[in-house]
Structure 1
Amino acid sequence: MKILLAPDKFKGSLTARQVCDAMSEGIRLAHPDAEIVALPMADGGEGTAEVLTLATGGEWVTIPVLDPLGRPVQASYGISANKQTAFIEMSQASGLRLLHRHEYDPLKASTFGTGQLIQDALSRNVSNLVLGIGGSATNDAGIGMAAALGWQFLNDQDEPVDATGENLSQIRRIIPPTSPLRLTVDVACDVTNPLFGANGAAFVYGPQKGASAENIEKLDQGLRHLAQLIQSQFGVDLADVPGAGAAGGLGAGALFFLNATLKEGVKMVMEQTQFADHLYDADLVLTGEGKIDNQTLQGKLINGIALEAKKSGVPTVALCGTLDAKPHDITAIGLTAAFSVLTHPQSLDEALSNAYEAVRQTTFNVLRLLNRNTD
């Protein structure tokens, strides 16, 4: 019996790798001779770079960069074993995770540190980049990232402007670097917001980054101005591209400054981990995440895995902490079944601390049910 393990992390308790380990132990208790293929997964958000680095047998690199407010910080990214692909999460250098709540300020925040990570990867001669852009603290449309890669942004007096959200409206001329970027870039992007306007980066995501109503208007005007400038100077229209407003406009910045392709995070991760190849001749897929609810229907990891497995006629069982989905939802997701690993009432702290054993035990129970003839 071949069992493919493809779980996401259980946020706050277990990494995807740890979930695989717990599942493997449970399988061995119930079915010692099973062939187990462990494939830790991610949905394109936090943890994706680590998962893809692991999947490609790569190494983790840590370098000094500048955080969203220009302070020194250590940030990490992955490089595949063949040294050809870098896996970068912008949140490592430019994310809210690096700031205290009272420091949130998308006017002052910059993606410069993300550009430093990319520049370091280029210095190692990678030819491909996979970029995750979730969790940003910024609203600079990626001009900070671009500045770190050699782009120049000048005001009406031909003086450089600081590459931050509050200065977008001051830019009058953009000067590309002398050497073009020789890199294929795929960006994990699961939102479809345009760059500016009522559904754009500033209005939708600005408040959670600390922007006041007045600041949101200023940021939105800056994004609109930059889009108009890029269109007039380079003939490129980014305004209404779905996903351009992701990560404070970094979606648009990646499209223009990196010539990137925006992809659904789940599909990109499945592609990078060669999920379809691992699925071949599998008898069962075990997946999971911390919570299964109606959002799981909206293109998240479990949905993508279950639908792909269903095409191949492979049943998929999901484990989770909180199971908040009705039977018809579970069917719509493409799952054969879903089980919560919580077996009795307990506090959140207790549930988090006992997650490994809970996943192990529930996996054992599932396998015993599916393999009753092993008794």
Structure 2
Amino acid sequence: MRVLVAPDSFGGTMTARQAAEAVAAGWRRAAPGDEIVLRPLSDGGPGFLDVLNTALGGEYVKVAIPDPLGRDTTGSVLRVGDDAYVESADATGLHHLAKDERDPKRTTSYGVGLLLAAAVESGARRVVVGLGGSATNDGGAGMLAALGAVPLDVGGSALPYGGAALAQCDRLEGVPALRGAELVIASDVDSPLTGLHGASAVFGPQKGASREDVLLLDAALARWAEVLERDLPGCPPGIAELPGAGAAGGLGAGLLALGARRESGITLVRSLIGLDAGLDAADLVVTGEGSFDFQSLRGKVAAGVAAGAAERALPCLVVAGQVSVGRREAAAAGIEATYAVADELGSVDAAIAAGADGLERLAERVAREWSRR
């Protein structure tokens, strides 16, 4: 049997490549005669650069940047020909913060701006920015400040870091320096910037926002959208309502205001790494991620892989740390069956502690069930 293994990363537990290798190791123990092809994936979130570097090669450019709280860290730009790839989670990812440090009122996207500047200065003609996994809710204000468009208060002082400060934003001063490079957003989040389905309401709580914080941050982003439309040349009208503006804590809005176009992250990666050729040659497809939930069905990796498998009438399986999608909903997305490490080991905590070993164990059991078919 020819088995295509194409997972996303498993949260902070495993990269997509590590997850793919764990599935392959477990599968080979049960079905050593099967041919296994690995295609680790990303929809633009954490692991985006690693997945592209595995498939495309290229050269990493290291950049000194601040993390979401302004502490020194290092990020990377991946150069491949005339293109540069940036992973926003390098600078804004939740993985930079301990749980008690999460506070979207004061976290910043400044580091993303420095990564963009480095990409442009390296000579890239096109810069693709993967969005996802952010700890920020500042609408890209920090990014723009790093690029030379500084948000100011009514007294002319630069605003402090964080989404809460945007409520006091009076104007932008300066013009972003991008040397004419084309900007592309890789994201499958289609949320607007503000409102019930916006960045603050949908993603704020997982970043540490209370109910009161969500209301404050949403109002601050509404004010920020007004300033962007008025003061940033070329900003599209109705920026707050554009699909994808709410991605990565509103970083999508900041990029759209700079003239970026949005592409489906999984579709873009699928094309770049040659996933379709792998699907054409496969008898069975295995995908997965840390938590397979309702958001997974909204254009993320598992849904994208399942759609490609369905086009070819291939069975598609999901292996995940935990599963909260029902059988009927999974089947409607083209997924034949789902399996959870947490069920295999007895709890979510056990699954997290086991890491790759738990996924290997699960894959071995799944192989015994499916390879015989």
> What TM-score do you get using the length of structure 1 for normalisation?
0.82
Q: What is the RMSD computed on CA atoms of the aligned residues?
A: 3.3
Q: Give the superposition deviation at 1:285.
A: 1.7
Distance 1:208 1:14, change over 3 A: closer
1:156-167 to 2 correspondences below 5 Å: 156=154, 160-162=158-160, 164-167=162-165
Q: Deviations over 1:112-154 (max 9, x none)?
A: 1111122222232223333233233333221211121222445
The equivalent residue for 2:236 is: 236
Q: Give the superposition deviation at 1:292.
A: 4.0
> Does the CA contact (< 8 Å) of 1:296 and 1:333 recur in 2?
no
Q: SS of the residue aligned with 2:148? A: coil
Cα distance between partner residues in 1 of 2:365 and 2:148 = 52
Distance 1:84 1:307, change over 3 A: same
After TM superposition, the structure 1 stretch with the greater mean CA deviation from structure 2, 338-347 or 144-153, is 338-347
> Does the CA contact (< 8 Å) of 1:58 and 1:79 recur in 2?
yes
Q: Give the superposition deviation at 1:253.
A: 0.3
Q: SS of the residue aligned with 2:281? A: coil
Cα distance between partner residues in 1 of 2:65 and 2:331 = 46
The equivalent residue for 1:200 is: 198
Unaligned runs of 5+ in 2: none
Q: SS of the residue aligned with 1:3? A: strand
Distance 1:136 1:17, change over 3 A: closer
For the pair shown, which has the larger CA radius of gyration, 1 or 2? 1
1:141-220 to 2 correspondences below 5 Å: 141-156=139-154, 160-162=158-160, 164-168=162-166, 169-177=168-176, 180-192=179-191, 194-211=192-209, 216-220=214-218
Cα distance between partner residues in 2 of 1:167 and 1:174 = 16
The equivalent residue for 2:358 is: 355
The equivalent residue for 1:274 is: 274
Q: Give the superposition deviation at 1:37.
A: 2.0
Residue identity matched to 2:174: I
The equivalent residue for 1:22 is: 22
**1:248 is the counterpart of 2:246:** no
Q: SS of the residue aligned with 1:239? A: helix
How many residues get paired? Answer: 366
Cα distance between partner residues in 2 of 1:148 and 1:324 = 40
- Percent of matched pairs sharing the same residue: 36
Distance 1:315 1:231, change over 3 A: same
Distance 1:147 1:3, change over 3 A: same
Distance 1:239 1:347, change over 3 A: closer
Cα distance between partner residues in 2 of 1:49 and 1:348 = 28
Q: SS of the residue aligned with 1:242? A: coil
Q: Give the superposition deviation at 1:111.
A: 1.2
The equivalent residue for 2:82 is: 84
Unaligned runs of 5+ in 1: 371-375
The equivalent residue for 1:122 is: 120
Q: SS of the residue aligned with 1:369? A: coil
> Does the CA contact (< 8 Å) of 2:187 and 2:244 recur in 1?
no
Q: Give the superposition deviation at 1:39.
A: 0.3
The equivalent residue for 1:55 is: 55
Q: Deviations over 1:145-196 (max 9, x none)?
A: 112122244555656545643443333344314664413322314141x323
Cα distance between partner residues in 2 of 1:47 and 1:244 = 21
Q: Residue 134 of structure 1: which of 119, 132, 135 is its match?
A: 132
> Does the CA contact (< 8 Å) of 1:3 and 1:36 recur in 2?
yes
Distance 1:295 1:113, change over 3 A: closer
Q: Give the superposition deviation at 1:214.
A: 6.0
Cα distance between partner residues in 2 of 1:26 and 1:75 = 34
Q: Give the superposition deviation at 1:360.
A: 4.5
Cα distance between partner residues in 1 of 2:327 and 2:198 = 35
The equivalent residue for 1:108 is: 106
Q: SS of the residue aligned with 2:9? A: coil
Cα distance between partner residues in 2 of 1:13 and 1:96 = 13
